[in-house]
């Protein structure tokens, strides 16, 4: 009997200990914070996921540190390590401020890992209407803003003008506006011999750019409210079928990817400089890479265009968010406000402009996620001559026509389901219809479970 009681006691104690270990921090923090743009802030500010990687970051850090005089800032540098963040949250010691990809914010918000910023925005006077609309959508869940966006990554069409001319095709044939023409252009541009690719005609950049092609066809992988997956929509099936066909016409994705992976993507021997790639959509930062390493590459640029001929870009970027349980939310909010302010972006643009002038290279602008700052910085852009100026024009055009996936509570599962579907088609394991039907089911289930937690007030 004594033994039984002792065992029961031990089990009970262990259960209490176990339950006590996993207290979690979700739900409440920062609620009693007093955000006031005029008030002085002090204490420590730990920031996770942000690095002083270049002059754009450093100029803004300098400004923010000056504004937050008296605050001891600690940068936990490197890209956000979600494991590191979750460990910090689980131990009840989250950082004061988080710098994350915008598409991570929805899931973190749904689980209570980051707090709504309404009070922060009001208190600090952050003008949310200055931000790019699609960027704000990405950090807004159930009408609550959970992140202050910054930077905007957009895609533009990049092409090798010499290859286009030799094949008798124009940039308009590879910008996505006419998909039949793009398929035909791909066939003309590609060089494949015995299953070996020596020139990629068009790279449709699957699996990552499926949402771009779906948006270009007038669809969206997910509904505007983030509740309903639309992966098996006719637009999605058509887009995937077409984009995979681009690879099939070149001997299949395996051959194209193997050739693509062997390229010196960031060096002088990149695919455009070596004339081994006809065209592809790519994020705007690659424009600077090309200009840096191969300024004489025979480039041609345009926006990516939808089937209606209008420019379109599938935007991404970063955001500042305040973790639940953060011990200095006031300083965190101030930092987010200053870092995304017009002054900060102008300081950043000045620093970048000086650096580029020192290198004798053009300043191609910065897409900040803040429309007012974007306009101001666009005025500072310096000419690099053609074709680079056309690239910058295409970049700003794309920035004015962005769409994005709305925040939702299952963004990781959703993207995983979507990419698995594309990969299974690329690997020859399923047809687009089959793959997308399965992805639709998986993604919808994840969304339903995520929204049920929010709607039901689940913890």
Partner 1 sequence: MTAAATERGTAATPGRRDPQGRGRGIPSHRRGSAWREARPALLFLSPWIVGFVVFTAWPMIYSAYLSLTDYDVINTPEFVGLENYAKLASDEKVLLALGNTALFTLMQVPLYVVVSLLLALLLDRAGRASGFFRTVFFLPKMTPPVAVGVLFLLLFNGQNGLVNTVLGWFGIDGPAWTTDPAWVKPGLVFMSLWTVGASVIILLAALRNVPETLYESARLDGAGFWRSAWSVTLPMISPALFFIIVVNTIAGFQTFDEAYTAFFGAGNTTYSNDAALFYVIYLFQQAFEFLNMGYASALAWLLFAIIMAVTAVQLIVSKRLVYYEGDR
- Residues in contact with partner 1 by CB under 8 A are 14-15, 18-19, 21-27, 82-83, 86, 89-90, 107-108, 111-113, 196-197, 207-208, 253-255, 257-259, 261-262, 324, 412-413, 416, 419-420, 423-424, 426-429, 446, 459
CB of 18 to partner 1, least distance (A): 4
H or E element that contains 420: helix 411-426
**Nearest to residue 443, comparing CAs of 407, 412, 409, 413?**
413
Distance CA 173, CA 243 (A): 15
For partner 1, give the closer residue by CB, 177 or 442.
442
Q: How far is residue 109 from each of residues 88, 282, 323, 383, 439, measured CA to CA in Å?
A: 16, 30, 9, 42, 24
Assess contact for 315 and 400: CB atoms under 8 A.
Answer: no
Distance CA 236, CA 378 (A): 34
Distance CA 302, CA 397 (A): 9
For partner 1, give the closer residue by CB, 68 or 89.
89
CB of 382 to partner 1, least distance (A): 32
CB of 419 to partner 1, least distance (A): 6
CB of 118 to partner 1, least distance (A): 21
Q: Are strands 316-321 and 148-153 parallel, antiparallel or unpaired?
A: antiparallel
For partner 1, give the closer residue by CB, 47 or 114.
114
Contacts of 136 (CB under 8 A, 6+ apart): 128, 145, 149
For partner 1, give the closer residue by CB, 71 or 240.
240
Residue 442 corresponds to which tokens in the numbers above?
A: 């998986």
CB of 92 to partner 1, least distance (A): 11
For partner 1, give the closer residue by CB, 293 or 412.
412
For partner 1, give the closer residue by CB, 393 or 419.
419
**DSSP label at 322?**
P
CB of 61 to partner 1, least distance (A): 26
């Amino acid at each position: 009997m004594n033994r039984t009681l002792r065992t029961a006691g031990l089990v009970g104690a262990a259960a209490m200990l176990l339950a006590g270990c996993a207290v979690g921090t979700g739900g409440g923090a920062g609620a009693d914070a007093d955000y006031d743009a005029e008030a002085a802030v002090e204490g420590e500010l730990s920031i996770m996921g942000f690095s002083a990687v270049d002059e754009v970051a450093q100029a803004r850090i300098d400004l923010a540190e000056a504004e937050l005089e008296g605050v001891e800032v600690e940068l936990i540098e490197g890209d956000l390590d979600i494991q590191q963040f979750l460990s910090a949250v689980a131990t009840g010691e989250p950082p004061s401020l988080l710098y994350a990809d915008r598409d991570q914010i929805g899931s973190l918000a749904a689980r209570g890992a980051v707090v709504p910023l309404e009070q922060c925005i009001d208190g600090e006077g952050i003008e949310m209407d200055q931000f790019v609309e699609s960027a704000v959508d990405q950090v807004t869940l159930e009408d609550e803003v959970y992140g202050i966006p910054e930077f905007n990554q957009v895609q533009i069409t990049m092409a090798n003008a010499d290859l286009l001319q030799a094949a008798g095709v124009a940039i308009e044939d590879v910008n996505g506006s006419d998909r039949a023409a793009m398929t035909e252009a791909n066939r003309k541009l590609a060089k494949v011999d015995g299953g070996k690719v020596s020139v990629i005609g068009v790279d449709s950049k699957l699996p990552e750019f499926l949402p771009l092609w779906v948006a270009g066809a007038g669809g969206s992988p997910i509904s505007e409210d983030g509740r309903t997956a639309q992966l098996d929509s006719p637009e999605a099936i058509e887009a995937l079928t077409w984009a995979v066909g681009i690879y099939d016409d070149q001997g299949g994705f395996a051959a194209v990817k193997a050739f693509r992976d062997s390229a010196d993507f960031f060096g002088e021997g990149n695919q455009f400089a070596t004339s081994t790639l006809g065209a592809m959509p790519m994020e705007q930062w690659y424009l600077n890479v090309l200009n840096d390493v191969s300024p004489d590459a025979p480039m041609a640029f345009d926006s990516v265009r939808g089937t209606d001929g209008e420019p379109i870009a599938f935007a991404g970027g970063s955001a500042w968010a305040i973790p639940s349980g953060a011990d200095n939310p006031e300083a965190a909010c101030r930092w987010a406000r200053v870092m995304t302010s017009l002054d900060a972006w102008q300081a950043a643009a000045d620093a970048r402009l000086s650096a580029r002038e020192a290198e004798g290279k053009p300043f191609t602008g910065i897409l900040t996620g803040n429309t007012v700052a974007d306009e101001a910085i666009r005025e500072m852009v310096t000419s690099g001559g053609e074709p680079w100026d056309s690239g910058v024009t295409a970049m700003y055009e794309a920035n004015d026509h962005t769409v994005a996936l709305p925040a939702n509570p299952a963004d990781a599962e959703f993207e995983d389901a979507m990419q698995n579907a594309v990969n299974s088609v690329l690997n020859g394991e399923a047809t687009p219809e089959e793959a997308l039907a399965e992805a639709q089911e998986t993604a919808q289930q994840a969304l339903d479970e995520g929204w049920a937690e929010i709607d039901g007030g689940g913890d």
